């Protein structure tokens, strides 16, 4: 089945696509940086977000790759999400995103209602002053004039079921371990995974199941899937790292 994406908002660098659907869940997908510097990032997780055409969905892309910091972008996205939910008669709003898109969703969840958010490998901050070790995506990050959304903070687990996934490969823990420890936020670390968590999950045949459960807010099922993959809650990962014996250096 070929899903048709319709333009809903074209306000460069922002572009938002939509699909119709019959369920009461509106799914919002925010795109990552993408793989081609000079081309807009494409809509992501189309089949998963729409559940094969059943869910109404929005696909948010940012050609400037601003991590939501472009002037007026956050306000336009929030207004669009709220209008789309009202027109669709949605009783739930869920988000799914990878990397930059995951970071955007976490910020958006503080500005408007999200019932659940699946954030895979989000950045704690794109601001070089906040995470000075980060040297990826410098081309885009250097063009951000003002970091309106400076870092991830004040996530409201009473309002939103958060599922945050990080690997522990190069560059990932620098972000993951800076995230605030918030009671009720399901923050998982997947040992041996790098930044390509979503692609690795897809390759292993787990992505659809995990994403569907996260969109539905099924915390116990998400946890079981993560544990099947060798992942664990962040607190357990940190304890495991702390309990590892320190290797003595030969004199």
pLDDT digits (tens, 9 = 90+) for 78-124: 999 999 999 999 999 999 999 999 999 999 999 999 999 999 999 99
The Cα–Cα gap between 49 and 54 comes to 9
In-domain check, residue 40: yes
pLDDT digits (tens, 9 = 90+) for 123-162: 999 999 999 999 999 999 999 999 999 999 999 999 999 9
Does pLDDT of 247 surpass 50? Answer: no
pTM score above 0.85: yes
Number of domains making up the chain = 1
pLDDT-based confidence at 250, cuts 50/70/90? very low
Nearest by Cα to 17 from 33, 4, 6, 29:
6
Is residue 214 assigned to a domain? yes
pLDDT at 1: 53
Q: What is the CATH number of the domain that holds 52?
A: 3.40.50.1820
pLDDT of residue 195: 96
Q: How far apart are CA 174 and CA 132, in angstroms?
A: 9
Q: Is residue 228 one of the residues assigned to a domain?
A: yes
Judge whether 248 lies within some domain. no
108 part of a folded domain: yes
Q: Which domain holds residue 151?
A: 6-243
* Integer angstrom CA distances of residue 57 from 18, 20, 49, 63: 6, 7, 6, 20
pLDDT in tens, 4-24: 899 999 999 999 999 999 999
In a domain, residue 163? The reply is yes
């Amino acid at each position: 089945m070929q899903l048709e994406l319709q333009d809903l908002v074209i306000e460069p660098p922002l572009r938002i696509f939509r699909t119709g659907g019959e369920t009461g869940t509106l799914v919002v997908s925010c795109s990552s940086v993408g793989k081609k510097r000079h081309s807009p990032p494409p809509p992501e997780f189309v089949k998963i977000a729409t559940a094969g055409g059943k869910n109404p969905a929005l696909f948010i892309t940012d050609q400037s790759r601003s991590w939501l910091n472009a002037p007026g972008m956050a306000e336009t996205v929030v207004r669009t999400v709220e209008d789309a939910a009202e027109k669709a008669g949605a009783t739930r709003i869920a988000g799914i995103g990878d990397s930059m898109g995951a970071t955007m969703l976490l910020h958006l969840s503080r500005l408007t209602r999200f019932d659940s958010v699946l954030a895979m490998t989000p950045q704690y901050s794109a601001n070089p002053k906040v995470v000075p070790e980060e040297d990826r995506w410098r081309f885009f990050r250097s063009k951000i004039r003002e970091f309106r959304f400076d870092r991830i903070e004040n996530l409201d687990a009473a309002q939103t079921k958060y599922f945050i996934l990080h690997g522990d490969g190069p560059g990932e823990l620098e972000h993951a371990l800076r995230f605030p420890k918030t009671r009720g936020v399901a923050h998982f670390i997947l040992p041996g995974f790098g930044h390509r968590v979503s692609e690795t999950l897809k390759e292993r045949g787990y992505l659809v199941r995990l994403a569907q459960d996260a969109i539905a807010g099924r915390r116990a099922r998400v946890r079981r899937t993560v544990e099947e993959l060798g992942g664990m809650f962040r607190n357990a990962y940190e304890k495991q790292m702390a309990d590892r014996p320190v290797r003595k250096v030969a004199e």
